[in-house]
Amino acid sequence: MIDISIKINTKDIQCALAAQMDSVVNKAAVRAINKTAMQARTESVRAVRTAGYNIKASAVRNSFKLQRATKNNLTAVLTSTGKPIALIDYGARQVGSGVSVAVKNGRKIINHAFIAKMRSGHKGVFVRIGKSHRTVVRNGKRVRTGLPVKELFGPSVPTALANEKVQNAVKRLIKEKLPKIFAHELRFASMEKKK
């Protein structure tokens, strides 16, 4: 399992406001950090798809856990965890020479692979492993048997998020959005205090 964390650190904001860190500023900072973290999650979903990964947006979104910023800890942490995704979930189709899958940037054929449904009901993309096998006739068809099979997997969501283009897109969003959201939240918190 791979863990990827996106941390939104507010040291710059804390230094700039250290002299006037009252409840209004603190409240605005907490809100701004948490809103930026949510926008970073949305940007991560978009960036993974833009980078060419054929992973469902819901799978990327659901891989995240958010540790929200609080008044005592002005840091939000987005963590994505997940196992490699079975190749069957990457639009697998049986073709003459193997299995065609769309993992990243178009379809590719995995030679000698096949789609099968196990007795348990689990469906996947498999390859036979080993060097020797025997051929038997089943239902009038000649099939290879006697070799163990191995299921094939594609990249996990954290692996896709570790892509440099994805990381740069998320960092850029945080850098652009956090100051703007903070300024907006500071105005809003100031108006709330005056009421």
Identify whether residues 27 and 117 lie together within a single domain.
no
Structural domains of the chain, count? 2
Residue 133 belongs to what domain range? 87-151
Identify whether residues 78 and 129 lie together within a single domain: no
Is residue 71 located within the same domain as residue 131?
no
Residue-level pLDDT, tens digit, the chain, 195 residues: 444 555 555 565 555 555 445 778 888 888 999 999 999 999 999 999 899 898 888 888 999 999 998 888 888 888 999 899 899 988 899 998 999 999 888 889 999 899 998 888 899 999 988 776 677 787 888 877 666 789 999 999 999 999 999 999 998 998 899 889 988 888 888 777 666
> Is residue 130 located within the same domain as residue 69?
no
> Is residue 9 located within the same domain as residue 45?
yes
**42 token code pair:** 């949305």
Question: Could you tell me if 40 and 73 lie in one domain?
Answer: yes
Q: Which long-range contacts (CB under 8 A, 24 or more apart) does 18-24 make?
A: 23/193, 24/186, 24/189, 24/190, 24/192, 24/193
Q: Are residues 146 and 164 in the same domain?
A: no
Same structural domain for residues 61 and 31?
Answer: yes
Predicted pLDDT at 19: 45
pTM of model > 0.75: no
